Amino acid sequence: MSGPENISCRQAIENLWAYIDGELPAHDTDRVHEHLEACKACYPHFDFQRAFRAFIGQHMKHPVPAGLRRRVFLALLEEERASAAGSGAESE
């Protein structure tokens, strides 16, 4: 899914933590929101991450710094991309 104001699935997923945490600029927040409303493939990622964040928040004794959370998530995305590239598949 793409267009002048739309973002790709990859961009939407890469920005989910920042979106959930309210850390994106307003324009980017709007673009991710619109993408999630229209994309049935990406919404489950959002729903899972939102639920995961809520679960962790309820069960953690000490909050995880936003920067650390984002670095871990980006490392997981990179690992997923490397795995997909190795198998010849690409998701979007």
Tokens of 1: 């899914």
**Cα separation, 33 vs 78, whole angstroms:** 23
CA distances from 48 to 25, 44, 72, 90 (A): 22, 6, 16, 21
Residue 91 has pLDDT above 50, yes or no: no
SS3 per-residue string spanning 3-65: CCCCCCHHHHHHCHHHHHCCCCCHHHHHHHHHHHHHCCCCHHHHHHHHHHHHHHHHHCCCCCC
pLDDT category at 28 given cuts 50, 70, 90 is very high
Q: pLDDT tens across 46-76, in order?
A: 999 999 888 887 887 777 787 888 898 889 8
Question: What is the residue-averaged pLDDT of the chain?
Answer: 84
